[in-house]
Structure formats: structure tokens, C-alpha cells
Amino acid sequence: MSITVYRKSHFNAAHRLYRKDWDDTKNQSVFGKCNNPNFHGHNYELEVGITGEINPETGFLIDIEKLKKIIKEEVEDYLDHKNLNIDIPEFKNLNPTMENISVLIWNKLRNRLEEYYQISVKLYETPRNFVVYTG
Ligand code: NI
């Protein structure tokens, strides 16, 4: 038997999608509005799912207060109100797409959670566009 606990979170961040090694025409044709040189923001919505077994002693899969604290420290404190291209070292040479942001979040959570938990990260860049990464 396995069970999944979810915690929602939220952050605002700015980004620009482009490649330095491509010219303006190519960047515009591949990335469109997301290539705006002056950046633009998104209200990112995050759903973190933790899967495992219920601890029979506590009745918990995971202490949700502990999960809340880890998400705050690893995701909100790190990404909220940041310019992802400029402020976040991982995106210095990597496009901060919702795909790459979800992988970054998953890796940061993986470092903080016991190995017996499975982790899924669902990241909404807009209400209709989202990605799920499970490692
Ligand atoms: Ni965008």
C-alpha cells in the first residue's frame, strides 16, 4: 500500500527564454513573447506530492509541517520575486522554462527528503500550462 500527500505552494518570478548563441530572428521564432528582452513575470503554482508508506506509530506519511518548511526554504525563499535568468545560478546558461524549473525544484527537494519517499513536482506556469516531473 502506498499513499501520497500533497502540499501546494506559490511563487512569482521573472524570466526570459532565449539563447545567446542564436540571433534575434531565430530566438523570436522559437521563443516568441517569452523572448522579450526586458523579461516578463509568471505566477507559478506548485504542487509537491510525496509518496510512501504510512508510519503506523504516527499515522503520518510525512510530517506536513516539516514538508511545508522544506518547500519554503528550498523553493519559495530561493525563487520567489527573483529574476530567474539573473538571480539563480542554475539558470545562468540554462533556459528557465517550466520544464527546467521543475527539475531544479525536484532536485532541491530530493536533497532534503529521505530516500524512501518518491517525489513528484507539478508546476503551473499559467493556469493552463503545467508540467509534472517525477525524477
Ligand atoms: Ni514566460
Residue 113 has pLDDT above 90, yes or no: yes
In the chain, where does DSSP find H-type helix?
Answer: 24-31, 64-71, 77-79, 84-87, 98-110
CA–centroid distance, 111 to ligand 1, in Å, is 27
CA distance 59 to 121: 24
> Each residue of 28-78: pLDDT tens digit?
999 998 999 999 999 999 999 999 999 999 999 999 999 999 999 999 999
Q: What is the pLDDT of residue 1?
A: 83
CATH number of residue 59's parent domain: 3.30.479.10
CA–centroid distance, 46 to ligand 1, in Å, is 16
> Over pLDDT 90: what percentage of the chain?
99
> Each residue of 1-30: pLDDT tens digit?
899 999 999 999 999 999 999 999 999 999
Active site residues: 34, 81, 125
Q: What is the pLDDT of residue 10?
A: 98
Q: Which domain holds residue 81?
A: 2-133
Nearest C-alpha neighbor of 7 from the set 82, 65, 77, 78 = 65
User: Quick one: average pLDDT of 111-132?
Assistant: 97
At 57, the amino acid letter reads E
Residue 107 has pLDDT above 90, yes or no: yes
CA–centroid distance, 13 to ligand 1, in Å, is 9
CA–centroid distance, 34 to ligand 1, in Å, is 5
Please tell me the total count of domains within the chain: 1
CA distance 77 to 58: 29
Q: What is the pLDDT of residue 95?
A: 97
CA–centroid distance, 52 to ligand 1, in Å, is 34
